[in-house]
Structure 1
Amino acid sequence: MGRIVALPARGEVFADSRGGGRVLRASWHHEDGVVVLSLWRDQVCTGTVRVAADDVPALIAALTDGLAQGYAPGVAGLERSG
């Protein structure tokens, strides 16, 4: 089994909507010029992606655009309760 490394102070943890101990960890590594996105199940890292700092704005824009489109009026399959 691999060594478990604590999440750096410059990071966030996001729970998977499916539960089951799944989370996404996002941690900045400024010294390397990357943000690391890692997938965890309980205390085991199951995969990582190192995104170059220069590419992070495009990733954020893609997530923001997708979220905005998903809640646009008239989008099929999405209903808001008031």
Structure 2
Amino acid sequence: MAQQRVPRTGKVFLDPRGEDRSMRVTWHQEAQVVVLSLWRDNVCAGTFRLPADDVPDLITLLRQGLDEAYAVARERVERLDRPDRPVQAG
């Protein structure tokens, strides 16, 4: 896959499906927007301009989703750590 150049205030996230799919997130101070762009084979397939005023709502949504995912994972681990019945000394 070719190296993708991104502005200094951005980041590239690779899609786990592969096939050179990625999402670029770039902050554009001059326009007060964050641009989310979807790429495939180093070609931009589409963009979304998120106004800076909406960024906190996006962050809150992502944080809530992450918190819920951690809570579910923690519950699974706790279930595995608990035996179904008490261990008897013998």
Does TM, scored on the shorter chain, surpass 0.5?
Answer: yes
Identity of aligned residues (%): 52
Give 1:20 deviation, angstroms: 0.8
Q: For the structure 1 residues 22 and 70, does the alpha-carbon distance in structure 2 shift closer, same or farther, using more than 3 Å as the test?
A: same
**Residue identity matched to 2:54:** D
Give 1:79 deviation, angstroms: 5.0
Partner of 1:67: 66
Q: For the structure 1 residues 79 and 44, does the alpha-carbon distance in structure 2 shift closer, same or farther, using more than 3 Å as the test?
A: farther
* Separation (CA, whole Å) in 2 of partners of 1:34 and 1:53: 5
**Which protein is bigger by CA-based radius of gyration?**
2
* Separation (CA, whole Å) in 2 of partners of 1:79 and 1:15: 28
* Separation (CA, whole Å) in 2 of partners of 1:74 and 1:22: 27
Q: Which has the higher helix share?
A: 2
Partner of 1:50: 49
Could you tell me which runs of 5 or more consecutive residues in structure 2 were left unpaired when the two chains were aligned.
Answer: 78-90
Give 1:73 deviation, angstroms: 3.9
Q: For the structure 1 residues 38 and 74, does the alpha-carbon distance in structure 2 shift closer, same or farther, using more than 3 Å as the test?
A: closer
CA RMSD of aligned residues (A): 2.3
Partner of 1:3: none
Moved over 4 A (4+): none
